[in-house]
Chains A and B, each alone.
Chain A
């Protein structure tokens, strides 16, 4: 390709605080319209904002986790524009002096590690939501439940060079914010959303090309698709000798294309200025330290520790650390059982299958780490086979009985490892299949499987397969 792709992302995270950023109203999602409101968040004349300390805590947390400097005195500014979902006619945000500056994040794409710069993180309030009822023509309603819900915006440097890098960065940011408990990371519901600034330039060109801003991409896949589409679009323009227009474009998921929303001429002049209703946000070293102490282990560090401590493959470590609760679950199981590898397999294959089928997450899993660990020790000591183990697990999951030992005992599922009993069974099978034994001994080795199968059938699957193999080998060579 003749061009270098340059991408920067602006990520908005809705914070998981109980109350709004500038008033005491609940942030609870799904309440009837305008129930979570008060004079402050509906912009009543004379009402004033008061900053929630918790929001600052969360912003510092996000900043520390992405190696940012925390600004000792940051300033809220008003971003002025008119829209019915914006009750005051301005959004309280941060502009010249945001809470966090100059961080970075390492991502990995195709086995290569790359550092992406983070320009800034700032705090701001969300807007309300317009409701257009289907059956009432020419009428719209406004729901201010979401107005004043806290957000942080994380702005990257234009350091990404492909859609794959952009997605990797977005995934890494999402993973960290979810780990920190700062954001639930839900892209479909919009509590984690991103805008992408994309431009192309000829290789080696010192200046960045003219960029377009893409909005409305509500999944990782759509981010990838929208960027690919945009790169394609700009390339066609440049190849045709044209010039890219600076504009904001809206991604249309259904049609798989983006369309111009507004050009440079229609771009708002937001007339930012410091909000005189709020004092500068002063964060001292003690506050930063307090937040630092409360930071959880981050995914990258956890992944490395899993590799070092449990000797599981990298792919497993990645899956298990993708979710903090999942990682905690895994560690709880490992603490009580002797094989981390076995625990990893069971969680990733069996457990995740059940969770996915039920569309629930690990925190709602009916099988406790203790029960799973017990099941794994039954498998390891040969009491049951892996296959029976799956059967037992299904019963544990359906919560009929969470105690694997009891299930095995009650239903007589313990493996047959008694060599006398097995020998008798094998002798019987040899006697009943003399012709096949002869064929086997003449070289038709595939028949070995048939003999083993006969034993398993006769033992209702409870025969210890290793022992069966061993005994057959001894008897018929």
Chain B
């Protein structure tokens, strides 16, 4: 088997045993990128030269017997909103098309210190606003399972890269489902940690109170390994929480007998694709077979989540994106007349339609006379949604649900209908509002061969339990590591 087809876990063990070198693994991944990324277009920037140098120093580190980590020498890709010194960080926007950060995001620093090899930067919806990666200012990314379909979003580049084996694992970010939904569309594992578990320093903000960085991998074990490297307190991020990082990987195999799993009725309502529902229900039965106890539960404020999210996230975004004004860095419109015109023209030309739509929505929600009706009310509903979860978690360890009501949709299907696009996030958004950890694990395919994802949700900072349940499910379900047709062909 080609090295690029291996899991992170496998490569880590083989690297530790000296069976392969990071240089070989990295070469293999870049060969794969050369073969398939033209058709998938997951990458916005590829750094083969830099990666090979990092691979050599990872090999050197192992040769010298210096301390290593599970990611030492492993080729990883990064969503293009994580600041990287030496690599452009565009956030999928014309506004930052040529922006090169002068500092590394904390997660990037952690990966570099751990000896990871950084392959390049991955496509995304502009400023992480979207559910299909169609909002990238540069190009769409294709779903490796069906290239007429979207990979999901906003971390569509991160999930398509893992699915098409052009990176062993990647990092994405999840504000309203931006890791879990594309992971389910691309048939890979995608995890959103608890808000505060992973530092946001250097993550270009969309909605600060919701954004969280997380791993995208082929298996749950890989997610546990990668999370172990990036999680932990960071004094540069006031919202990062100072609580110990458990051994996620080491604890995966502990059994799940007696764990209580709740099934919220609101997540299985109107609009849920029957094939998706069937796959998720089957998943529940398998977990029950492994000894988990199931109960029907209710999260009564679920219906308000999308509206709440689109008030709060856009309000924060309208402020977070004010800094792109053409003054200090990034795009500046030419031939403008005075300061005000420079602002207007720069922002009119530099931002795409969806970003502008959300800036306007958010500006409106915060405006004098509307703040109480929209922003403040949405904050109150956010509290109610969080309380819903608290009540369920008083008696349950895990909540199980679909990730997205439908499998991957076709290009152009929803892009002109923002509301239907927004509604596709209905099952992932409440988790961000409540700050909880959640994971999308492959749970089967539709008749037409599109992946389906199962969502598991846990209590704050219960990533250990979350990953453990996901791992047991993965073992029983047997979908893990399945590659799309495109990939299998290339391998042969």
**Which A residues lie at the B interface, using CB under 8 A?**
39, 42-51, 78, 80, 82, 84, 87-90, 142, 269, 271-273, 276-279
Contacts and interface: CB of A to CB of B under 8 A. Distances in A.
A269 B368 contact: yes
A87 B207 CA distance: 18
A43 B328 contact: yes
B103 A82 contact: no
Contacts of A46: 81-83, 101, 105, 200-205
Interface residues of B, number: 44
B103 A39 contact: yes
Nearest to A39: B103
Contacts of A45: 83, 89, 91, 96, 99, 101, 204-205, 323, 329
Contacts of A42: 328
Contacts of B316: 273, 276
Given A45-B323, A269-B367, A271-B367, A50 B238 contact: yes
Interface string B315-337: 11011011101011100000000
Given A89-B323, A89-B325, A273 B239 contact: no
A59 to B, nearest CB: 17
B235 interface: yes
A48 B102 contact: no
A350 to B, nearest CB: 53
A341 B298 CA distance: 82
Interface string B72-108: 0000000001110000010100001001011101000
Contact of B375 (A87, A90, A269, A273): A273
B422 interface: no
Contact of A89 (B96, B207, B322): B322
Contact of B238 (A78, A273, A278): A278
A contacts with B: majority SS: loop
B363 interface: yes
B373 interface: no
Interface of B: 81-83, 89, 91, 96, 99, 101-103, 105, 200-205, 207-209, 235-239, 315-316, 318-319, 321-323, 325, 327-329, 339, 343, 363, 366-368, 371, 375
Question: Lowest 3 A-B CB distances belong to which pairs?
Answer: A89-B322, A276-B209, A271-B366
User: Taking chain B's interface residues, is the majority helix, strand, or loop, or is none over half, making it mixed?
Assistant: loop
B30 to A, nearest CB: 27
A179 B325 CA distance: 41
12 contacts: A44-B83, A45-B101, A46-B81, A46-B83, A46-B202, A48-B200, A80-B322, A80-B366, A82-B322, A84-B325, A88-B323, A89-B321
A42 B83 CA distance: 15
Contacts of B237: 48, 50
B492 to A, nearest CB: 42
A271 B363 contact: yes
Contact of A78 (B209, B319, B363): B319
A87 B103 contact: no
A344 to B, nearest CB: 51
B329 A89 contact: no
B102 A39 contact: yes
A279 B235 CA distance: 13
A48 B236 contact: yes
Nearest to B127: A45
Contacts of B235: 50
B238 A279 contact: yes
A44 B329 contact: yes
B104 to A, nearest CB: 10
Contacts of B363: 271
A431 B227 CA distance: 111
